Amino acid sequence: MEAFHIGIKTLLFSRYGYHHPKSDSNMKLVHLAFVVIYHCFFARGVCKDNSSRPHTINIGAIFAFNSTIGKVAQVAIDAAVNDINSDPNILQGSELMVHHADSNCDAFTGMVEALQFMETDVAAIIGPQSSVVAHVVTPIANELQVPLLAFAATDPALSLLQYPFFVRTTLSDEFQMIAIAELIDYFQWREVSVIFTDDDYGRSGVAVLNEKLAEKHCKISYKAALPSQPDRMDISDLLVRMALMESKVIVIHTSTASGLEVFSVAHYLGMTITGYVWIATDWLSSLLDSFSPLNLETMEAMQGALSLRQHAADTPRKRDLLSRWNKLAKGNAAATSRLNSYGLYAYDSVWTVAYALNSFFDDGGTITFSNDTRMRDAASGNLNLETLNVFVEGSLLLKKIRSTAFEGVTGSFQFDFDGNIIHPAYDILNILGTGSRKIGYWSNQFGLSVESPETLYANRKNNSTANQSLYDVIWPGQTTMIPRGWMFPNTGLELKVGVPNRASFTEFVSKAKGSDMMKGYCLDVFTSAINLLPYPVPYKFIPFGNGYDNPNYTELVEKVALNDFDAAVGDIAIVTDRTRMVDFTQPYIESGIVILTLVKEHESSAWAFLQPFTLEMWCVTATFFIFTGVVIWILEHRINDEFRGPPKKQLVTIFWFSFLTFFFAHRETTISTLGRLVLIVWLFVVYIIQSSYTASLTSILTVRQLRSPITGVDSIINSNDPIGYQVGSFIEKYLTEDLRISSSRLRALHNSSEYAMSLQLGPAKGGVSAIVDERPYVELFLSTNCNYAIAGSDLTRAGWGFAFPRDSPLAVDMSTAMLKLSESGELQRIHEKWLTRSSCLDETREIESSRLQLQSFWGMFAICGFACFLALLIHFVTIIYQFVTHFPQEELDTPEPSSRSGGSRSSRILQSFLSFADNKVEDLRTRSKSGHGLSAKRNDVVASEDSTPAKEQDVE
């Protein structure tokens, strides 16, 4: 604009050439003209003036006048229209006119009202309020291209792709269901029951909730549908069925009237006490925000419940609207109600239309309608369909609506790519006293938090699961302890517990003779654990099997999966195939597959003294004895007379010294520092070897040694001998499928007597070479049979547990109870009562070899070898230094008188070095002194020889 003014002045000065009094008046006239032109052409962008904007713009509003949301929405919409019309900068001369229509939350009535709006050429419709009405009205709006701004239709099925002219100006129930799913996961509940209205709104919400719960590994265990207008008897029958179910977490997704009636009946039936969890969708928060406080009877029924409320930021515009609300609602049907979240979104919906219309007119849009030829063709009778008009530029207005962004009473109001309001968030409320208490927030990006979404977005905090938090909740029953969300159903029916009727190893579980009573170790563990549960669980043991043969345990587990039994209790191994069918509790006893074999006492031989060490150990030990003796000899030879003498004597000294070190009886003393260092390390090694040898030999000669040809799993795989297993066990499948052993080699055994007989006979007489079974059975067998033992280590490791149907919360509670049994020592006392025997407890039945291996000593040998190597290195470096010092270069270069001219210099050096290394240090010193005297004499002789010719010459 400033540049525009400068251009005007420039034009005037170029016109008059100089400044004179008339120029000021001319300047003002030209300036005024250009301002008019600027506003007409430049400010509008097109050659249009305000005459292109209509004086009145009609919009419609469809909602239920007498509903909780409708009463507030009517006041909010009218307030928004008045605020817009009072601001000339919004529509710039145009006046917004809103026409209300009562749909009464009825689809047919809503459709009729929408058609009547189409006859009056409305540019947009605020609403409809109900999702059910929206499903009917939206196709009409799509055909006639009239945008619908739904401030309360939250059905997730109303999508942008299917209904492009449907603009949701509130939060979709998809986000509310995500919040509920995260809330359930936060409190670690796994099953919920849902009460919902059987219409588009209810069904779509529950479908999304089911999907979001599955993502959290949770599920809806029961769905209870209500008619649109249920009576008290319908609700009572439904809640009675739910009271008999296990899940005590109940989500209510209904209309306001139905939801209040559900709480009233639930309170009457005693379902709002401790242990129950009630979660209501935002219908409850809207009711409380609008009409709180409710009557005491209604509030008492809802104490401890949770509810969600659409979050609206605390903006100045919101505070202004709240301050004016009582005045705005005065004389209206909503005079007794207060502003709720849906009223805020209705207010912002009108402003969205206003901003979009302003941009629409700025781009040259016009509100024009044309007759639809299809309507004329279809017109017949008295329907007058030809009066329905199509909004010609409705698509342009729709585009402007979806691109609108402003700061409304709910905060930053803007649509994302999918047509949803950005930054969806909910307040989480805890119903207490006469109102509610906010315990936290949920936002789409940050999840559950005690900080407001605006703070989180401003700080950009991490949204990891570890940061999820809420304030403490006061649950039904006025308790702060988080309910388990599950309770054993109080149906009066007993829990049908399948118990294997064993024929062998009856200490674990069996049927008492002469009665139907079941007894055993496993049953004592079960009854002790179930008595620790915080709720009563009636049960009845049902025998499974004929009592003559051990039953098939996999079939027993399958009956639990098929709901023939409510649980299976007994010595049931937790294996992969069974965990695919049922849920198991925490293992109450360690198990695993082991090999049982017959053992015989090993008789000592004349060569027993060689058994403590393996052949490798003997060889390495002998080598180090000799090697250490040689190292000591090298280090002591030049200075110690005990390590000198003829070669034969020296060789004997080396072996004799090495052998005596084993008994610490060596007579030769070491003089050198390096020799003493090596000897100290070696004597430490000898001490360890001697102690280990003595201990091992003592064990071999004094402890009973048991031997068997079966030493482990490789022995039974590589042989062709028969192998036994217990009837009804999964061991047969393990041997054939996992170990690839031919089924022709397997022998089914029924009891411990057959175990002993088959092993005693052996493969040659029709018996078996080994028996593969679970460790608890084998240990019980070994407690009374002393001539048998476990060969090798466990083939697998597992445990025994109790089986329950999939996702049964009773399995979790029983696991917790069994952990308490273990911590208190009760589990061990039950074990001692049934499974502890004393006849063979003091016997040693170890099959594996106790010979000492080389790998147990290699570190010690490595240290000794390094010490010897280091000592030899220092010794040879010292010798070389002494050799160079005592034998100057001149002496090495001078040949010996007896040497021949053919000897090489290197040979002479090597011979001199070896002679030097072999000689005693004292001899070298003597030789060194004599060598210097001899050199002096030789020098005198040479000098005298050189002087002889001179004397002879003088004589001559």
String of DSSP letters for 259-280: HHHHHHHHHHTT-SSTT-EEEE
How far apart are the C-alpha atoms of 288 and 442, rounded to whole Å?
A: 19
CATH of the domain at 399: 3.40.50.2300
Q: What is the dihedral of CA 81, 83, 85, 88, to 10 degrees?
A: -150
Bridge partners, residue 411, by sequence: 408
Residue with tokens 């179930």: 530
- Rounded Cα gap, residues 630 and 626, in angstroms: 6
In this structure, are 622 and 635 located in the same domain?
yes
The pLDDT of residue 873 = 84
Could you give the dihedral angle defined by the CA atoms of residues 619, 625, 627 and 628, in that order, rounded to the nearest 10 degrees?
A: 150
By three-state DSSP, how is residue 475 classified? strand
Cα angle: 167, vertex 172, 178; to 5 degrees: 155
**Do 620 and 758 have their domain in common?**
no
Q: Same domain, yes or no, for 186 and 70?
A: no
Residues 340 and 219 in one domain: no
Cα–Cα nearest to 455, from 308, 313, 307, 341: 313
**Separation of alpha carbons 534 and 521, rounded Å:** 23
Neighbouring residues of 556: CB distance < 8 A, sequence distance ≥ 6: 498, 500, 544, 565, 568, 570, 572, 803
For residues 745 and 760, give the distance between their C-alpha atoms in angstroms, rounded to a whole number. Answer: 17
pLDDT score of 783: 86
Residue 27 lies in a domain: no
Residue at 116: amino acid letter: Q
pLDDT at 360: 94
In a domain, 899, yes or no: no
351's CB contacts (< 8 A; 6+ apart) are 80, 83, 84, 406, 408, 413
Confidence at residue 711, expressed as pLDDT on a 0 to 100 scale:
77
> Is 852 inside a domain boundary?
no
Give the Cα separation of 567 and 539 in Å (integer): 10
Q: How many CB atoms lie within 10 A of CB 217?
A: 9
Contact 263, 196 (CB under 8 A): no
DSSP alpha helix (H) spans, 762-904 = 775-782, 809-824, 826-835, 858-886, 889-893
Pairing of strands 306-310, 425-432: antiparallel
The last residue of a domain, from among 835, 854, 886? 835
Q: Is residue 584 part of a domain?
A: yes
How many alpha carbons lie under 13 Å from residue 605 in its C-beta half-sphere?
Answer: 6
Same domain, yes or no: 292 and 429: yes
Cis peptide before 230 (omega within 30 of 0): no
The reply to whether 60 and 144 lie within a common domain is yes
Cβ of 459: how many Cβ atoms within 10 Å?
A: 10
One-letter amino acid identity for 492?
A: G
Cα dist from 498 to 543, 545, 885, whole Å? 6, 10, 96
Please count the structural domains in the chain: 5
Whether 510 and 586 map to the same domain: the answer is: yes
Identify the residue whose tokens are 């609207």: 321
Distance of CA 220 to the CA centre of its chain: 22
- Whether 370 is covered by a domain: the verdict is yes
**How many C-beta atoms lie closer than 10 Å to residue 12's C-beta?**
15
What letter would DSSP give residue 735? I
**Whether residue 809 sits in one domain with residue 782:** no
638 lies in some domain? yes
Ranges of the chain whose pLDDT falls below 50: 1-49, 51, 379, 381, 841-849, 890, 898-902, 932-956
| 285 lies in the same domain as 431 | yes
Encode pLDDT of 150-206 as tens digits. Answer: 999 999 999 888 899 999 999 999 999 999 999 999 998 989 999 999 998 999 999
Same domain, 305 and 429: yes
Residue 215 near residue 177, CB atoms below 8 Å: no
Asked whether residue 818 is domain-assigned, the answer is yes
Among 767, 797, 827, which residue terminates a domain? 797
77 and 163 both lie in a single domain: yes
How far apart CA 291 and CA 310 sit, in angstroms, is 17
598: number of CA atoms within 13 Å, CB side? 15
**Residues of the domain holding 645:** 608-702
Look at the pTM and tell me if it is higher than 0.75: no
737 occurs within a structural domain: yes
CATH code at position 777: 3.40.190.10
Helix (H, G, I), strand (E, B) or coil at 136: helix
By CB atoms closer than 10 A (0-12, 13-18, 19+), residue 819 is: middle
Same domain, 200 and 222: yes
